[in-house]
Structure 1
Amino acid sequence: MTGPALHTTAADCAEELPGAQLEHPFGPDWEVYKVGGKVFMLMTEVPGRPVVILKADPDEAHALRQQYSHITPGYHMNKKHWITLENGEGVDEELVRELVTDSYRLVVAHLPRAERPVDPHTYGAGTRAAR
């Protein structure tokens, strides 16, 4: 997957998620996706390399960093709760969509129940790939 394809796939997935909104609070070079006013995905370029920054469960984030060389701690974010995804070996459309959906679900789970656009415990659960 190329860098532009990484951004396109992540953006397409985010735009399909109920209640997701795109904002540019840090200028035109940063695409920030939110649900319920909370960030679940950021996209930018880090010295010419397209990256996607996503929220992740700390244990899952650690496992992902061990398994994929193109997943690193979150760029300019809490290194325990965020990951940075770059294009490279093993990074395909299925993985990108899964990680974007997982990030979204984590954020939705912390919204007040009345503000949740979906049930975070069941939304997207049928599409998860086994690792």
Structure 2
Amino acid sequence: MNIETFRNYCLAKKAATEELPFGPDNLVFKVMGKMFALASLNDVPLRINLKCDPEKAIELREEHEESILPGYHMNKKHWNTLILGGRLSPEMIFNLTNHSYKLVVAGLTGKQRKELENLE
């Protein structure tokens, strides 16, 4: 998967935005100001960080040792780094991106979730 495919998928999510808060090499995707994905633009193959349920994160790392690692420069309990070198299917990458987005939305305040629900 390339960066444009991943970027377009993230930006298609409700209220998703993109920023470069850590410099030009790391593209961050947020929902309601909270990060749900980060893409390292200089890495080949592409590497992305996604939020993950801690128990699921451990399972994924065990099942995909070469492609899913503890989150680089992130809380390793809650974030995974995915190496998009062809071993992970696009469907799996999209499912894990959805999981990350949903976790972040679930952690929003009630006011923020209501505001998100009311967006077109």
Which residue is 1:113 aligned to? Answer: 110
With over 3 angstroms needed to count, the CA separation of the structure-2 counterparts of 1:94 and 1:38, relative to structure 1, is same
With over 3 angstroms needed to count, the CA separation of the structure-2 counterparts of 1:11 and 1:47, relative to structure 1, is closer
Alpha-carbon offset, residue 20 of structure 1: 0.7
Alignment partner of 1:78 out of 72, 75, 78: 75
Please state whether the residue corresponding to 1:72 is helix, strand or coil: strand
Please state whether the residue corresponding to 1:11 is helix, strand or coil: helix
Please, what TM-score do these two structures have when normalized by structure 1?
Answer: 0.79
Aligned identity (percent) is 40
Kindly provide the amino acid, as one letter, of the partner of residue 37 in structure 2.
M
Kindly provide the amino acid, as one letter, of the partner of residue 58 in structure 1.
P
Alpha-carbon offset, residue 27 of structure 1: 1.3
Are 1:14 and 1:20, in contact at CA under 8 Å, matched by a contact in 2? yes
Are 1:9 and 1:96, in contact at CA under 8 Å, matched by a contact in 2? no
Which residue is 1:11 aligned to? Answer: 7
Please state whether the residue corresponding to 2:46 is helix, strand or coil: strand
Number of paired residues? Answer: 114
Alpha-carbon offset, residue 9 of structure 1: 3.0
Please state whether the residue corresponding to 1:78 is helix, strand or coil: coil
Kindly provide the amino acid, as one letter, of the partner of residue 80 in structure 1.
K
Alpha-carbon offset, residue 10 of structure 1: 2.2
Alignment partner of 1:94 out of 60, 76, 91: 91
Please, what TM-score do these two structures have when normalized by structure 2?
Answer: 0.86
Q: Give per-residue Cα distances to partners, 1:2-26, cap 9 Å, x unaligned.
A: xxx2423321221111011100111
Please state whether the residue corresponding to 1:80 is helix, strand or coil: coil
With over 3 angstroms needed to count, the CA separation of the structure-2 counterparts of 1:44 and 1:65, relative to structure 1, is same
